[in-house]
């Protein structure tokens, strides 16, 4: 099946391999994305509390926004009238929008799925809405992100009967998304589903690669399965996906998961974890998570992490961060967010460099012990 999704200006250059870990560059209309890469999540067209200026300074090269949330508020038509998502949110780098499928299917008590699409109630006001593959592509067309996703059904990973039925719909919806897509400046990624079941994952990977998408996501992971099961699925799909196209693991952002997924051929990641943890007063460090509200930090003159180049660590102490958190000052949430984003973005930069230099396995042992 031939489709406009492979049209330039999208191209993935695979520059190096170290084992199964990959370093490359994905070229998009709004700039190059060096891979492997972590994308901060800007659910409602903003990475919570962090301006685009700071994302640039942190070295972010890709930001994710959420189709479901932007469709409900402020509305994709409004975003289109105001110049598209890049202009609307003041971010001129590459953008990715998910299909909203995960959010819709997480509303288990207020949605109904059929072969044509899914009907759901807004979590905001209870109003009734319907997503079909064609509707989702229309919304993502209005938003105008560089990378867009097909509508898929994210099934409970351990329920085989549900996954078999959901996979049939996901594959049909992928074909319909391809037919509905018209913009050559958007790269539409297919999403491999199938829960923890080898035959279903293989079936999904083979079906979707035959449709010749410019990139592939692995969905339905980090949603209830064990780490061993997640790693097994990634081991399984790695050789089934084209080497010359980027692979995206959706919704994963712990240090261990990033290293383990890169080791299994994954190129793109996103997760709300760094800013969500910051809002709960926690910071990433190489020694583990640091509770910034802890009383033991009340006179601690050290930064969150020694040697960290982020703005928070270069200028402020743990004692000050604890004070801000205890006083519910917004600056505390901002500084913790800056640090956590820097931690993951910098980690991915070090991972990429280690792949280019052929020392990824050594770095992985140093950082996560295996």
Q: How many CB atoms lie within 10 A of CB 193?
A: 28
DSSP secondary structure, 38-105, as one string: EEEB-TTSSBTTB-HHHHHHHT---EEE-HHHHHHTT-HHHHHHTT-HHHHHT--S-EEE--SHHHHH
Look-up: residue for tokens 């031939």?
2
Cα 25 from Cα 246, distance rounded (Å) = 9
Residues 6+ apart with CB under 8 A from 369: none
Q: Extract the tokens encoding 156.
A: 């409970």
CB 250, CB 103: distance < 8 Å = no
CB-facing half-sphere around the CA of 257: CA atoms within 13 A: 19
Instruction: Please say whether the beta carbons of 56 and 90 come within 8 A.
Output: no
The tally of CA atoms less than 13 A away on the side-chain side of residue 110 is 14
User: 126 and 96 in contact (C-beta within 8 Å)?
Assistant: no
Q: How far apart are CA 230 and CA 224, in angstroms?
A: 10
> Any catalytic annotation for residue 300?
no
113: nearest Cα among 125, 101, 99? 101
**Burial class of 330 by CB neighbour count within 10 A (0 to 12, 13 to 18, 19+):** exposed
Q: What angle do CA 17, 18, 22 make, to 5 degrees?
A: 45
Query: Most distant CA pair in the chain: distance in Å?
Result: 64
Q: Is 116 noted as a catalytic residue in this protein? A: no
The one catalytic residue among 98, 141, 152, 257: 98
Residue of 220, 222, 103, 221 whose CA lies nearest to 167: 220
Round to whole Å and give the CA distance between 154 and 213.
Answer: 19
Q: Which of the following is catalytic: 141, 152, 267, 270?
A: 270
CA-to-CA distance for 48 and 276, rounded, in angstroms? 9
Q: Which residues are catalytic?
A: 98, 270
């Amino acid at each position: 099946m031939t489709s406009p999704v492979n049209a330039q200006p999208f191209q993935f250059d695979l520059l190096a391999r170290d084992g199964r870990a990959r370093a490359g560059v994905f070229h998009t209309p709004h700039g190059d994305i060096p891979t492997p890469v972590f994308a901060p999540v800007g659910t409602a067209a903003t990475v919570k509390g962090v301006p685009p200026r700071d994302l640039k300074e942190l070295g972010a090269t890709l930001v994710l926004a959420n189709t479901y949330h932007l469709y409900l508020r402020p509305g994709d038509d409004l975003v289109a009238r105001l110049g598209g998502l890049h202009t609307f949110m003041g971010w001129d780098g590459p953008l990715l929008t998910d299909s909203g499928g995960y959010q819709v299917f997480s509303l288990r008590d207020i949605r109904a799925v059929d072969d044509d699409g899914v009907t759901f109630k807004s979590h905001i006001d209870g109003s009734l809405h319907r997503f079909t593959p064609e509707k989702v592509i229309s919304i993502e067309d209005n938003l105008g992100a560089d990378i867009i996703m097909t509508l898929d059904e994210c099934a409970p990973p351990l329920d085989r009967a549900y996954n078999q039925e959901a996979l049939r719909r996901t594959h049909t919806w992928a074909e319909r998304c391809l037919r509905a897509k018209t913009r050559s400046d958007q790269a539409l990624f297919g999403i491999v589903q199938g829960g923890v079941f080898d035959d279903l994952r293989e079936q999904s990977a083979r079906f979707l690669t035959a449709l010749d998408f410019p990139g592939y996501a692995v969905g339905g992971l980090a949603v209830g399965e064990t780490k061993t099961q997640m790693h097994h699925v990634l081991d399984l799909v790695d050789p089934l996906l084209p080497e010359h196209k980027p692979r995206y693991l959706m919704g994963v952002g712990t240090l261990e998961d990033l290293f383990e997924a890169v080791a299994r051929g994954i190129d793109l990641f996103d997760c709300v974890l760094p800013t969500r943890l910051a809002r709960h007063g926690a910071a990433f460090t190489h020694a583990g998570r640091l509770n910034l509200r802890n009383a033991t930090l009340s006179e601690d003159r050290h930064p969150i992490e020694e040697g960290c180049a982020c703005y928070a660590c270069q200028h402020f102490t743990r004692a000050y961060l604890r004070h801000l958190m205890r006083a519910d000052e917004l600056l505390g949430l901002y500084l913790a967010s800056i640090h956590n984003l820097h931690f993951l973005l910098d980690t991915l930069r070090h991972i990429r460099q280690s792949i280019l230099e052929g020392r990824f396995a050594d770095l992985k042992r140093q950082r996560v012990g295996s």
